[in-house]
Amino acid sequence: MRRFLKAAAAAALAVTAMAGTASAEDKSLTLCWAAWDPANALAELSKDFTAESGIQMKFEFVPWTSFADRFLNELNSGGKLCDLLIGDSQWIGGSATYGHYVKLNDFFAANNISMDDFLPATVYAYSTWPKGSENYWALPAMGDALGWVYRKDWFARPELREEFKKTYGRELEPPTTWAELKDIGTFFQGRQIDGKTVYGIAMYTERGSEGITMGVTGALYANGFQYEDPANPYHMEGFVNSPNAVQALEVYKDLYKCCTPPGHSNAYMVENLDAYRSGQVAIQMNWFAFFPGILKDENVGGDKSGFFVNPKMSVEASALGGQGISVVSYSDKKDLALEYIKWFAKPDVQKKWWALGGYSCHKAVLEDPGFASSAPFAADFLRAMSNVKDFWQEPTYAELLQAMQARIHDYVVADKGTAKEALDLLIKDWTQVFEDDGKL
């Protein structure tokens, strides 16, 4: 999630993992990430690293609205601001190809850091390039997936439960399918609760960065979507525009039209959080990363909120979020940055990371018998991470994303054409990108 907004364009630089030893006078590191609750948790956790190593930690946390632009520009210019960078999964392809990140294989081997100790889906998505290879450019740092939050207190009201059952013939419970999700959204849309008009669902519709793509792929993946022919890479006809893909896109648009708050036509993470926390909606889609903060929220926290995994259409699947932590190749302190990676990979550090509000990817945390009951959303997080799918991780990721943002927003929000036409046009866009990149 929170991906490149502009095309990567930088000459590849030679990378030597241990080059750039810091001077004794400057035993400090700068870690770059987005400004959000997990970053605050990491800053707190990193105090232990400073206490153990004597290395001071500085942090450059940038709001999500400018996160990708800020750090993509930093990487492309060979900037030295960031010694460590927690970048999105889609950044791996470009950052490996253009020499932005240090390759970590030799370091992992020398320090007995095994990728077998981390959840396979996170290693594949956050660490490897090319995909499926054993070339590692990051340590899995922040697991994440698209999930859903609902007003548990509203769902528990006897009068609403009675009316819902009379109308739909089933109990008012968290949905397991997109059809059930639409029923619930319709039920709450325009309803009066405690003297206030409320609405059904806050969902992703934002066009400028990646929002509507992250939302729509949640529906597409739940109906078996594939980006390409598995036997013929980069060939998309019959896959991107399959009948199931068309159906899923239509379902997403129907949900947007029936069940969202007025004016919710350019919404992403923050807008959905605001709609939910202010009591406007019964349900929101958002990343699991925000769920610890929701639990603590004075308006919707505690027992007022519940959580559920992405509903299915034909299969159960979730859109992948999350990031790995990488050593920036332009840093003059790569040796110190690698010390941080070694420390962060320790199981006891990973356990504290989860306790503070981060999402560990380490099996020592996730496979602990008590993990599923350690938070109200922990079991759903495990379930979601078992079937995640991600967007293209190609070096041309930015162009691929921009094309999908435009085509999908035009159909879902602007009512241009049909779902099939939108996906047909998207294939043309993507084919051109891959032709220009020499992949076709």
This prediction has a pTM of 0.92
Q: Are residues 182 and 276 in the same domain?
A: yes
Q: What is the domain extent for residue 253?
A: 146-319
Q: Is residue 409 part of a domain?
A: no
User: Any residues with CB less than 8 A from the CB of 408 and at least 6 apart, and which?
Assistant: 212, 213, 216, 249, 422, 426
Q: Are residues 110 and 201 in the same domain?
A: no
Tokens for 18, please give them.
């241990």
Question: How many angstroms separate the CA atoms of 141 and 120, rounded?
Answer: 13
Q: Are residues 338 and 315 in the same domain?
A: no
Determine the pLDDT at residue 65: 85
Determine the pLDDT at residue 321: 95
Determine the pLDDT at residue 20: 41
Contact 85, 99 (CB under 8 A): no
Q: Is residue 247 part of a domain?
A: yes
Q: Name the maximum alpha-carbon separation found in the chain.
A: 73
Q: Closest Cα to residue 288, out of 97, 81, 142, 91? A: 142
Query: Which among 344, 363, 389 is the end of a domain?
Result: 389
Q: Are residues 136 and 155 in the same domain?
A: no
Q: Are residues 76 and 136 in the same domain?
A: yes
Tokens for 173, please give them.
């419970």
Determine the pLDDT at residue 371: 97
Determine the pLDDT at residue 351: 98
Q: Are residues 139 and 262 in the same domain?
A: no
Determine the pLDDT at residue 291: 97
Contact 359, 119 (CB under 8 A): no
Q: Are residues 49 and 137 in the same domain?
A: yes
Contact 385, 310 (CB under 8 A): no
Determine the pLDDT at residue 131: 92
Q: Is residue 35 part of a domain?
A: yes
Q: Is residue 429 part of a domain?
A: no
259-278: b or e for each residue (b if 16 or more CB lie within 10 Å)? bbbeebbebbbebbbebbbe
Q: What is the CATH number of the domain that holds 36?
A: 3.40.190.10
Provide the domain count of the chain.
Answer: 2
Q: Is residue 410 part of a domain?
A: no
Residue that has been written with the tokens 């708050």 in this structure: 261
- Tens digit of pLDDT for each residue in 219-246? 999 999 999 999 999 999 999 999 999 9
Contact 401, 210 (CB under 8 A): yes
Rounded to the nearest angstrom, the gap between the alpha carbon of residue 153 and the centroid of all alpha carbons in its chain is 27
In which residue ranges of the chain is pLDDT below 50? Answer: 1-24
In degrees rounded to 5, what are phi and psi of residue 328?
A: -75, 130
Q: Closest Cα to residue 389, out of 231, 245, 291, 179? A: 245
Determine the pLDDT at residue 317: 98
Q: Are residues 212 and 300 in the same domain?
A: yes
**How many Cα atoms occupy the beta-carbon half-sphere of 66 within 13 Å?**
7
Q: Are residues 210 and 308 in the same domain?
A: yes
Q: Are residues 157 and 305 in the same domain?
A: yes
Q: Is residue 211 part of a domain?
A: yes
- Distances in whole angstroms, Cα of residue 404 to Cα of each of 213, 422, 425: 7, 9, 9
In DSSP notation, 67-95 reads HHHHHHHHHHTT--S-SEEEEETTHHHHH
Question: How many angstroms separate the CA atoms of 133 and 87, rounded?
Answer: 19
Determine the pLDDT at residue 251: 98
- Tens digit of pLDDT for each residue in 26-46? 799 999 999 999 999 999 999
Determine the pLDDT at residue 132: 86
Query: Which among 284, 300, 319 is the end of a domain?
Result: 319
